[in-house]
Amino acid sequence: MDLLNNAYSGATAAVISAMLWAIASAFFERAGKKIVPVELNLIKGVLALLFIAATLFFTGETFTNFDLRSAILLIISGVIGIGVGDTAYFKSLDQLGARRALLIGSINPAITALIAMLFLKENLSLAAWIGISITIAGITWVIAEQSNHHQEGNHFPLQGVIFGLIASLGQAVGAVLSRAVLSQTTISPLQSNLFRLGAGVISLSIWIAIMRIPIGGWIRVEKPRQTALQIVSATFLGTFLGMWLQQTAIKLSQVGVAQTLSSTSPLFILPISILGGEKISARAVLGALLAMAGIILLFLA
């Protein structure tokens, strides 16, 4: 799927990815109340692999353009970014709640940009750094306000914060490793996703086996079909389509910019909340407008 061929298109893909992840997060949060994080991560990885395999079959993409270095980098990216990062995020989500977990995750773009600057020599312009800062500030303002109104107490459990930081670091490293491959080869975003998810699923399976973590208990709880539908919907929208677009953005845009735009999911939660009958404060709207100003600056940088 060669939809995009320039940085503007990459930025657009990142924003659409964030929108899809916002919708998927609502489903994952509900499913996460019945399934332990490592198992939820494994299930969504297996389902996403099936979606990707089917798509590759119908599109006829081949793997003749792979070399050993690219395969190794993508495997490491999958283990760190998906196996470790996503599991830590689900754990943080479980302990902090969606809004506070997203607040911790708002540092992800800055970490990604710094790592890319050190290892990929991707030096962002001053305008891009300002755009990233404004976008993160707007997102943080929205999430912090929502957290104060909807969470009991303002304390952040230490373990949840640690898992949130591990998630941000793991996802940042995974993104930079993907960028190292996607920016220097003709490997497609869908092919890179297959390798990354495959590595993540294998590492999770090994971890579950070693730690003897019991799985499948959610099937015996109330409304297992509803939970299964939530997981399938979230995986298709977030892990399959969303990650496909995110990898496309990483291929076509500087990784710090791509990660910033992909992290704007909290902004898309606002209209979802409005449709659900929730009242949105003026502060939340102003925070969203501030973040949008940062996004526009990133498009122009």
Q: pLDDT for 84-140, tens place per residue?
A: 999 998 888 778 776 667 767 777 888 888 888 888 888 878 888 888 888 788 777
Residue 294: inside a domain, yes or no?
Answer: yes
Residue 2: inside a domain, yes or no?
Answer: no
Residue 1: inside a domain, yes or no?
Answer: no
Given pLDDT bands bounded at 50, 70 and 90, which one contains residue 152? very low
Q: pLDDT value at position 133?
A: 85
2 vs 31: which has the higher pLDDT: 31
152 vs 126: which has the higher pLDDT: 126
For residue 179, what are the contacts with CB-CB under 8 A and spacing of at least 6?
A: 116, 120, 122, 250, 251, 255, 258
Residue 88: inside a domain, yes or no?
Answer: yes
Given pLDDT bands bounded at 50, 70 and 90, which one contains residue 288? confident
Residue 229: inside a domain, yes or no?
Answer: yes
Tell whether the model's pLDDT for residue 301 goes beyond 50.
yes
Tell whether the model's pLDDT for residue 2 goes beyond 50.
no
For residue 171, what are the contacts with CB-CB under 8 A and spacing of at least 6?
A: 81, 85, 86, 89, 108, 112
Residue 192: inside a domain, yes or no?
Answer: yes
Residue 49: inside a domain, yes or no?
Answer: yes
Which of the listed ranges 222-226, 245-249, 282-286 does the model predict with the highest average pLDDT? 245-249
Residue count of the chain = 301
188-203 residue pLDDT tens: 999 999 999 999 999 9
CA dihedral 275, 295, 121, 200 (to 10 degrees): 10
What is the residue range of 84's domain? 7-300
Q: pLDDT value at position 135?
A: 79
Q: Which of 20-24, 101-105, 117-121, 169-173 has the lowest mean pLDDT?
A: 101-105
Given pLDDT bands bounded at 50, 70 and 90, which one contains residue 6? low
Residue 267: inside a domain, yes or no?
Answer: yes
Tokens 């996503």 appear where? 86
Q: What percent of the chain lies above the pLDDT cut of 70?
A: 87
Q: pLDDT value at position 47?
A: 95
**277 φ/ψ angles, rounded to the nearest 5 degrees:** 90, 5
For residue 228, what are the contacts with CB-CB under 8 A and spacing of at least 6?
A: none
Question: What total of structural domains would you count in the chain?
Answer: 1
